[in-house]
A and B are shown apart, each in its own frame.
Chain A
Amino acid sequence: MLSKVLLKKDWKQVSLLWILLVFLGVVAFTVPVWTQMQVYEEQIRNIQENPSDYLDVVQEDVETMNTEDFFNSNSDYGYLGGLEALIPMGVVLFLYVIFGALMASVLIGSERNSQMSDFSMSLPYTRTQLYISKWVIGITGIIATTLVGGTLMFLIIRLSDYSFLLEGNEMKVLGLILFLLLSGISFFSVSLWMGSFGGEAISQVVWTFVALVFPMGILLLIQGSLFAFSPNASYLFFEEAFESVPMRILSPLNNIINTDMYLIFDSRAEWTEFLTIGLSSPIIFIVLTFGLGLWMFKESPQENNGRFFMFSNWLWLIHIIIIICFAMFGGVFFSGIFYPQSVTLYLVGFVIGAFLAHLLAKRLLYRFNLKLKS
């Protein structure tokens, strides 16, 4: 099923980004750790040199305190932080979002922009083989980055004065590295899938952004709309929905938000939940997006390359969804900027949002079309 020739061809297209991802990934995994250690050292030195400034938090004689004492959250000493502050989750995830979208858009969107897509499709390989090759070349970049970066990060902590933070927490750190890996693959998979929504590179990136924020965004818009109509109602349902398993599966961003690194190191229940829901959600998401991406890549009408949305039979549905989302956004925005909230303002915002969205959708869906040769 996997063709070495196609891997070679795709490597040629994406190699620069792939290598840059690994390089920046190593930087993202290691430099923040080193920087945070410098911050800790600075803080400890500061406390030791100026103990009078910290009397309210440091209740012991600082001269008798060793480095470990500053990281014991259960003692009376000043607590500087823990292992969670050393692991650069945010930076690495940001890198994966950006490079996931870039690599996917080079692998599919840019191909659609040029005649490379025609060339690929005319080769003696199935569309399934073409898609799998692109997916594999992308995820190997994320795997390589995570393996190299994660290992270096682990070693830096292990070989530093803060290695005591790792004691008993090795599995949790490995779990978080695995979480970063799965999240990275999730971002890439969804972006590659969006290559069959958008007919060129820019629209693929736009659709990726939409796919990432849509599950949470639509829930927030519904919540905001209901709040505009009945501000005093209970919205516990939405809090539960945001933390629900289906939501964590459908939205990698939501899964990340619901993963509390501090609690993972501190609470056994949270660690167990992380091992089950936290790690299985991206796996399910990857399986779903890979499957949908493959199916849509096989079905995508090649003649619509260059268009904002490939499936012209479904333009009407996308048009309606854009209008509804922007209308709700307009309503929530208008009702939110004034106090007290007003249903009338919501409706005004709704109508304005719907109208502007209609104009935008018309332009994007029906007019924005690179004139490629057909």
Chain B
Amino acid sequence: MLTVEHLSKKIDRQTVLDGIDFSVEPGEIIALVGRNGAGKTTLLRTMVGIIRPDTGDVVYGKKSIFKDAGLKRDVIFVPDSADALKHYTVDEAVGLYESIYPSFSRSAFRETLTRYNIENKKIRQLSKGQKALVTLSLAFAVQAKYYLLDEPTDGLDVVAKSDVLKLMIAQVESRNCSIIVSSHQLHELERIADKVIMIETGRVKAIMSLEEARTSSVKWQVVFNDHVPVELLERKDIEIVSVTGRVVLFMAKERTEELEAFIDAHDPMLIEEIPMSLEDVFRVQLGGEAHAV
């Protein structure tokens, strides 16, 4: 099990990570979500020792990853671009990974390469989607236990995104490895993630399963007899999605009896509960624009 214990970090006197605690079980895919600047990338970089934390630890087995660098053979960080290996050809990158990671499986990597028809060129000459696939395939061919992926689908077209997601799912299914994936593509994460970690200004705001995430908040469409009551629109604990005539669509952080009673008191014609997407949960829990996440 990989455990993050009380991880804190200040950069330029600003708290970027503030007592982060969570653990990753084998075979889990965890979605790390948060607004821009929430600390997702810093958290992932800190977890593999790129950045040193001020306090806290990342423990794999019973050892600290900061004290035993060899543990990183099982905890692989994949950044959001293939910039690091841009001067390597695909074959050279394979050679490098093979020499760093004894567990690297050339055949597993070749299989992916053949499937996606990627040629042996300099990595910088590949398309963005191919770069992402090569970077991920290299990491997955290591056969490690844990993967920390920083926005792996950022900037990819729909086909490439789908390929990347398939690759991730295939790895977890075949090897029971764990993936922590930071992304702004919430609709993609909800297709693959078992658990969601919400980060807000360096703190873990919530850790929950996807199902819990969906049920923790509510999204209601209410049709009133007369008009949408102004008191409802002025409430601070809900987020109005749309108001069309007598119809209001809103989300609330929590399903409370008080809210239900409030709606009932205004004599609604119809109350319909709309299923929450991860994007809805994100908006209502962490605030802000969905597009800004």
Identify the A interface with B (CB < 8 A).
4-5, 8-9, 12-13, 114-119, 121-126, 129, 301-303, 312, 373-374
Contact = CB atoms under 8 A, between A and B. Distances in A.
Contacts, number: 72
Interface stretch (B81-89, B236-244, B264-272, B274-282): B81-89
Contacts of B12: 312
A302 B50 contact: yes
Given A303-B11, A303-B42, A121 B88 contact: no
Nearest to B74: A124
B52 A301 contact: yes
Contacts of B72: 122-124
- A interface SS class: helix
A359 B73 CA distance: 47
B45 interface: yes
B140 interface: no
Contacts of B52: 301-302
Nearest to A116: B84
A281 to B, nearest CB: 35
Given A8-B99, A119-B85, A124-B100, 8 more contacts: A116-B84, A119-B79, A122-B49, A122-B50, A124-B70, A125-B69, A373-B80, A374-B11
A12 B87 contact: yes
Nearest to B83: A115
13 contacts: A5-B96, A12-B92, A12-B96, A13-B87, A114-B83, A115-B84, A118-B77, A124-B73, A126-B69, A302-B45, A303-B45, A373-B41, A373-B80
Contacts of A8: 96, 99
B290 interface: no
A301 B85 CA distance: 23
A374 B10 CA distance: 12
B51 interface: yes
A122 B85 CA distance: 14
A122 B79 CA distance: 10
Contacts of A117: 50
A12 B49 contact: no
Contacts of B101: 124
Give the most central of B71, B77, B81, B100: most A CB within 10 Å: B100
Interface string B91-126: 010001001110000000000000000000000000
Contacts of A5: 96, 99-100
Contacts of A123: 69, 72, 100
Give the most central of B49, B80, B81, B87: most A CB within 10 Å: B49
B42 A374 contact: yes
A374 B41 contact: yes
A374 B80 CA distance: 12
Nearest to B73: A124
Contacts of A13: 87
Contacts of B232: none
Contacts of B76: 122
Given A118-B79, A303-B51, A373-B41, A124 B11 contact: no
Give the most central of B16, B76, B84, B85: most A CB within 10 Å: B84
Contact of B83 (A116, A121, A124, A374): A116
A125 B71 CA distance: 9
B51 A12 contact: no
B172 interface: no
* 10 interchain residue pairs of minimum CB distance: A119-B84, A124-B72, A115-B83, A122-B77, A121-B50, A122-B48, A5-B99, A124-B73, A115-B84, A116-B84
A122 B78 CA distance: 9
Contacts of B41: 373-374
Give the most central of A114, A116, A303: most B CB within 10 Å: A303
Contacts of A125: 69
A302 B16 CA distance: 14
B18 to A, nearest CB: 15
Contacts of B45: 118, 122, 302-303, 374
A374 B43 CA distance: 10
B100 A115 contact: no
Contacts of A122: 45, 48-50, 72, 76-77
B82 to A, nearest CB: 8
Contacts of A114: 83-84
Nearest to B69: A126
Contacts of A121: 48-50
Nearest to A121: B50
Contacts of A312: 12
B55 to A, nearest CB: 15
Contacts of B84: 114-116, 118-119
Contacts of B85: 119
Contacts of B88: 12
A9 B98 CA distance: 12
Contacts of A115: 79, 81, 83-84
A150 B54 CA distance: 49
